[in-house]
Amino acid sequence: MNTDETFATALRQLSTQRRFDEITIEDILQRAGYSRRTFYQHFRDKYDLLGYSYRQGLDALRKSDCRWPDIIASIFQLVHDDADFYTHVLQTDREHTLEDFFCAQNSAFIHDAIRRRDPVKYASDPDINFSIQFFCAGLSKSLLDWLQAGMPLPVAVIAQQVCDQMAPELRAILL
């Protein structure tokens, strides 16, 4: 495990015990076994580390060549499997941190998929870009609402509901 992963693991462990905004850099340092200097060589602050922790789970999905419905289901599964972490980081002292992150990552997923399918036709289409933005905001909000409600629907069901709401122009590209 590299240093970044050690810090992320420490943060995840601490986040299952208390809210993110209650965790200090000192707590992370003690859990990880590294100095403050080492921490700041890798991260600007605990929010930078939090962003890295979010990206860890999604990077593998982003590199995969899965169909978009499978990616949506995998995103919900990722949150489901690490529900304690995501539930606690929802309660940060910075509003919408997790929602903004998921929205940006989902947008990147979709743009990557579009570039693979037809980079010229869809890259600059304003209707497509609006649909991506709108869909990603809805997906992110749905994901967090589902988490906050205690994940009442199975992953496959909620993922299918989200896919069913995709705009026709996105469905044509991604499904």
Whole-model pTM? Answer: 0.85
pLDDT higher than threshold 60 for residue 96? no
> What is the pLDDT, as a whole number, of residue 124?
67
Give residue 92's domain range: 3-174
pLDDT band at 170 (very low <50, low <70, confident <90, very high): confident
The count of domains in the chain is 1
CATH code of the domain in which 72 resides = 1.10.357.10
**Exposure class string for 58-81: b at 16+ Cβ within 10 A, else e:** beebeeeeeebbebbbbbbbbbee
- Among 159, 7, 21, which Cα is nearest to 88's? 21
> What is the pLDDT, as a whole number, of residue 100?
86
Backbone angles phi, psi at 154, to 5 degrees: -60, 155
Q: pLDDT tens across 55-91, in order? A: 887 877 777 777 788 888 999 999 999 898 888 888 7
Quote the tokens at residue 166: 């995709």
